[in-house]
Amino acid sequence: MNSKRTAALTQQLVYIGPALLFFGITIIIPFVMGMYYSFTDWNGVSGNVEWVGLDNFKQIFTNDSAFAQSFWFTTKFTIVGVLLTNLVGFFLAYFLTKNIRARNWLRTIFFMPNVIGGLLLGFIWQFIFIKGFATVGEATGIPFFNLPWLGDEVTGFWGIIMVFVWQSSGYLMVIYIASITNVSKEVMEAAEIDGANRFQVLKSIIVPLIMPAVTVCLFLAISWSFKMFDLNLSLTKGGPYRSTESLAMNVYNEAFLNNRYGLGTAKSLIFFLVVAVITLIQVRLTKQKEVEA
Amino acid sequence: MRSKKPPMSASTIVLQIVMVMVALIFLAPFYFLLVNSVKSLGDIMVDAANWPTAFHFDNYSKAWEMTRFPEAFTNSIIITVISNLIIALLSAMAAYRMVRSNTRFNRIVFMLFVSAMVIPFQSIMIPLLQVINFLGVNNSIVGLILSYLGLGIPLSVFLFHGFVKGIPLEIEEAATVDGASPFRVFARIVMPMLKPMMVTVIILNCLWVWNDYLLPSLILQSPELRTIPLATFAFFGQYSKQWDMALPALVLGITPIIIFFLSLQKYIVEGVAAGSVKG
């Protein structure tokens, strides 16, 4: 009996021990430390860490217009980004599950931007916005291309959105394709025999049956857009005048540019709470809409 | 063997044309990037849309040397390969044990892993650097890999967990009856069956680690440790308006991952689809 327990304990240690150890070192411990630091005035350098109670949070909510601004920017970005990437991703998938030639090639092309990291993508697009758009604008005279891209708040916002959609919709497309292919042919044919038109099939059959994929895709898109950092850094660096600064970048700047680590961790704690709440609400809402085929 | 496709209707042909045009728009940035990467700066400024009048391939040799591309490439490879192998192995082991030994402790650990997937990296990065400093592995590839292990394990365990649940117990029981030790059963019987999910986990983690910028930028300070995103960032900061230098550097930066994608695209696309299905 005792040796059996020892054996079980050994297995537990060998199989789960290492994973749990690394998880503890890089996530649990920093997470708990972060909670503590968010109530201090730690500056990251000196060993002198003083408890300041709720001062950091007071400061953030009452006296930090840049944080409020970045929160608003991130919220807008998330709403627009999530809608657009999902719409583009879904319709790419919808049309690429139809009987057209070269659809495998087309899928590859639409997915490709996604394998490149946000940082390099942003740099590539900086060139497109600055030189490419200008050239096209000169040649065609279309006002859209002659806007001061990335130069002001509005074009900065839509510039990042454009690159974000270009980067992410292919990924969502792949998930939607897998889900649409699973909708049984018989159900669709039955609907067509009953006289449903394409729009009705799309609205009343395909969309309800792929709700699990919608849950996943909304989840992914919200999480990407709310935590967006790399694209932000490489496209606008938050400028001009911090008007396109995302929350993730605001947290980063507070800690590593201003050296206010205590304040930075307080912000990062708020950031976590918001992400957690959004995720829970969203998963609950879309789960209710899922139907069985 | 290719099945003969039915003829396309008029509306399908219109759809076909539209989709090809959308695909060309998707590809346009790559056109601008490639075409201008071999132009002189003067030519880029005059007309960025034209085909090059003269090919300056020396742009590439300059960028190759100045970004220290071979060094950055090697660093990226070492970091990606080692962290991926360890994450995949440890996560598979942990997930297997959690499914097969469904104790309260293991259920709590699993819940912790799943909940941790919600934590944004920015919420732990500041104290994580403290931990890395404390362990004395700051500014080292070991420190970076160590961080990737902890950050990558939750999602990977989650994916394996869903997969192991679908593996019938009978095969393992038969092997145990035949006298195989538990570790042997795992190594010889379970691991091979995990292969499809292994591919998914490795692909998702490869794309993440290879492209990650923020974590390495915080941990690695020495120029000789730079990964491709770090080297590109440093170079781009210096030569941001010198497009004849910056563009070839960007092309070099994206080439490895594009080759990786095009040669394994079937697995990558399947992996993405499989990795997103809830467990």
More confident residue, B126 or A289: B126
Query: Could you tell me the two tokens for A5?
Result: 């327990």
The per-residue pLDDT string of chain A (293 residues; one tens digit each, 9 = 90 and over) reads 577 888 888 888 999 999 999 999 999 999 999 999 999 988 877 677 889 888 889 988 988 889 999 999 999 999 999 999 999 999 999 999 888 888 889 999 999 999 999 999 999 999 999 888 988 888 888 888 888 898 888 999 999 999 999 999 999 999 999 999 888 778 888 888 888 888 888 888 888 888 888 988 998 899 899 999 999 999 998 878 888 999 999 999 998 888 888 899 999 999 999 989 988 888 788 777 766 54
Instruction: For residues A132 and B29, give the distance between their C-alpha atoms in angstroms, rounded to a whole number.
Output: 8
Q: Does residue A261 lie in a domain region?
A: yes
Can you give the pLDDT at residue B77? 96
The pTM of the full predicted model, rounded to 2 decimals, is 0.91
Residue of chain A nearest B134, judged by CA positions: A25
Domain count of the fold of chain A: 1
Q: Does residue A22 lie in a domain region?
A: no
Cα-trace Rg, chain B: 24
Contacts of B45 in chain A (CB under 8 A): 131
Look at B272 and A174 and tell me if their CB atoms are within 8 Å.
Answer: yes
Among candidate residues B71, B74, B78, B91, the one with its CA nearest the CA of residue B204: B91
Q: B31-87 pLDDT, tens per residue? A: 999 999 988 888 888 888 888 888 888 889 998 998 899 999 999 999 999 999 999
Residues 6 or more apart whose Cβ sits within 8 Å of residue B271 = B199, B200, B203, B204
Can you give the pLDDT at residue B271? 84
Q: Does residue A271 lie in a domain region?
A: yes
Instruction: For residues A244 and A19, give the distance between their C-alpha atoms in angstroms, rounded to a whole number.
Output: 38
Among B32, B211, B246, beta carbon nearest to A132: B32
Its domain, for residue A60, covers 54-289
Look at A268 and B122 and tell me if their CB atoms are within 8 Å.
Answer: yes
Q: B257-270 pLDDT, tens per residue? A: 999 999 998 888 88
Look at B150 and A25 and tell me if their CB atoms are within 8 Å.
Answer: yes
Can you give the pLDDT at residue A171? 94
Q: Does residue A29 lie in a domain region?
A: no
Q: Does residue B201 have a pLDDT over 70? A: yes
Q: Does residue A10 lie in a domain region?
A: no
Q: Which residue has the tokens 């970004």?
A: B67
Q: B158-181 pLDDT, tens per residue? A: 999 989 988 888 888 888 888 888
Query: Do the beta carbons of residue B15 and residue A94 sit within 8 Å?
Result: no
Contacts of B112 in chain A (CB under 8 A): 23, 28
Instruction: For residues A49 and A41, give the distance between their C-alpha atoms in angstroms, rounded to a whole number.
Output: 6
Look at A15 and B126 and tell me if their CB atoms are within 8 Å.
Answer: no
Q: Does residue A38 lie in a domain region?
A: no
Q: Does residue A90 lie in a domain region?
A: yes
Can you give the pLDDT at residue B278? 43
Give the ipTM. Answer: 0.89
Can you give the pLDDT at residue A293? 45
Alpha helices (runs of H) in chain B, residue ranges in sequence order = 10-37, 41-46, 58-66, 69-100, 104-116, 125-134, 141-164, 170-177, 182-184, 191-193, 195-211, 214-219, 228-238, 243-276
Show the domains of chain B with their CATH numbers.
73-223+250-276 (1.10.3720.10)
Q: Does residue A189 lie in a domain region?
A: yes
CATH for A169: 1.10.3720.10
